[in-house]
Amino acid sequence: MAFDWDDLRVFIAVVRGESLSAAGRTLRMDPATVGRRVARLEQALDAPLFAKSPQGYALTEAGARLVEHAQAAEQAFSLATEAVQGHSEGLSGQIRIGAPDGCANFLLPQVCAEIARENPDLEVQIVSLPRVVNLSRREVDMAIAVSAPTAGRLMVQKITDYRLHLAATTDYLDQYPPIHSVEDLSGHRVGGYIPDMIFDKELDYLGALGLTQVPLASNSVSVQFHWLRQGAGLGVVHDFALPLAPHLKRILVDEVSLTRSFYLVRHADDRRLERMNRFAEALIRGVRSELTRLEAMT
């Protein structure tokens, strides 16, 4: 029995969303319709493609065999569309970027707003996740990472370095013992990541300082930042975030100065997509420019 090729698009959306409702939101389709389309594809292929579990829709063996071919078909369709439509002045369609929440909160909104202004037909989605984004499942079209992946069929390009320092509000510093060295930190309330939820070793800022107790902990760097803004304690802050909180003061600048890097990670198969290449170039250029601007303000 032949199947509708468009049902593969629905199948891919369920794989990425792991639920009918998530796929429906992506496709702008009712979840019940998504379910019927999946059932129709399963009937056409005479094989179950998903097994429902408490965690959502998981691929069966047949589904796992199909997904690679479905993504290849999706890629071929994108290439064919570009070939037919040719190069246009502006970018259009939807592009989804994944990023750690420090970058997603403090850099990408400004950068992507500028790209969107220059490309009014473009829809940009920023996925802020406190974990590594799964590119192989096509959760996103491209991702910004704090360390360069070494496995998988990926394109990796370093964007730029960025700096971090300890900081606290002047009110907090006035109320607690003075800080002259790293040893003095033990007498203060420290904010940072929940130790067992650090998803990349590059984010273990406090471990490098020998601080194992984190009284103010969150898996979100944005939450940590707002704690410090409230004068709840001190912690490591991105220099590019400091202009948003001028009452935060950097401390031990010479003793504690951390440098990390951002990398743009893309699917290797997308290297032939002119649309993705042009967006990636604009994104890299924008992140470098915005980060330089913000760090200069500190």
In a shared domain, residues 79 and 120: no
Give the whole-angstrom CA distance, residue 232 versus residue 245. 14
Polymer length of the chain: 298
CB of 69 closer than 8 Å to CB of 11: no
230 located within any domain: yes
In a shared domain, residues 251 and 165: yes
In a shared domain, residues 272 and 253: no
Give the model's pLDDT for residue 82.
55
1 located within any domain: no
In a shared domain, residues 251 and 276: no
Q: In degrees to the nearest 10, what's the CA dihedral of 156, 159, 165, 166?
A: -50
- Model-level pTM? 0.74
In a shared domain, residues 123 and 144: yes
In a shared domain, residues 267 and 234: no
DSSP-derived secondary structure letter, 107: T
Select from 25, 13, 15 the least CA-distant residue to 50: 15
Give the whole-angstrom CA distance, residue 121 versus residue 123. 7
Give the model's pLDDT for residue 70.
78
The average pLDDT across 115-139 equals: 83
72: its two tokens = 């290849």
CATH number at residue 64: 1.10.10.10
Model confidence at 1: pLDDT above 90:
no
In a shared domain, residues 139 and 197: no
Q: Which residues constitute the domain of residue 186?
A: 161-259
In a shared domain, residues 280 and 270: yes
CATH number at residue 125: 3.40.190.10
In a shared domain, residues 106 and 251: no
231 located within any domain: yes
Model confidence at 9: pLDDT above 70:
yes
Give the whole-angstrom CA distance, residue 62 versus residue 105. 39
Q: Which one of 85, 102, 124 terminates a domain?
A: 85
pLDDT digits (tens, 9 = 90+) for 253-297: 999 999 999 999 998 878 778 888 999 999 999 999 999 999 999
In a shared domain, residues 165 and 213: yes
pLDDT digits (tens, 9 = 90+) for 214-243: 999 999 999 999 999 999 999 999 999 999
Count of domains in the chain?
Answer: 3
In a shared domain, residues 77 and 196: no
In a shared domain, residues 197 and 215: yes
